[in-house]
Structure 1
């Protein structure tokens, strides 16, 4: 059985979307396809099982949350 999914992440600005997109792109290569359009990142998967699809989406969301936290840390100077 083939399972296809589409996940969209929308950000407040295109600048923030681009930063997150570039941060996650290295890790996502060969696992899912991605597209950046203004303030939205769209990810598409095509897997052989629902379990694999859910694991991929879960990993994507976890990585996005971490990238979001890292990019919002302000330097104390």
Structure 2
């Protein structure tokens, strides 16, 4: 009687996701992209297209995948708030 042995690598789950972020203008998109790029290196792929950023996340563990997405969103919120605050400062102090 032969045991049914499967290749362990074929059993690994692959989790893939894309996040699309749209901004008012290309300048804001580039600022966010450049601000987050260093922190995201080796964890996800990013592509800047005019006023959009496309993030692609690939992982084999659900927990790591969700943590990466959570970190990305939290970091983007911080950068967005800085941009909003900076834009208000420009209006106030022109």
Q: Which has the higher strand share?
A: 1
Fold conserved (TM > 0.5)?
A: yes
Find the residue that maps to 1:31 and give its secondary structure: coil
Q: Unaligned regions of 5+ residues in structure 1, if any?
A: none
Q: Unaligned regions of 5+ residues in structure 2, if any?
A: 1-12
| 1:18 to partner: Cα distance | 0.6
Matches within 5 A, 1:1-77: 1-73=13-85, 74=89
CA RMSD of aligned residues (A): 1.3
After the TM superposition, which parts of structure 1 deviate over 6 Å for at least 4 consecutive aligned residues?
none
Q: TM-score, normalised by structure 1?
A: 0.91
Aligned length: 77
Cα deviations by residue, 1:46-74 (Å, 9 ceiling, x for unpaired) = 10122211111111000000001112222
Greater relative contact order (CA < 8 Å, ≥ 6 in sequence): 1
| 1:8 to partner: Cα distance | 0.7
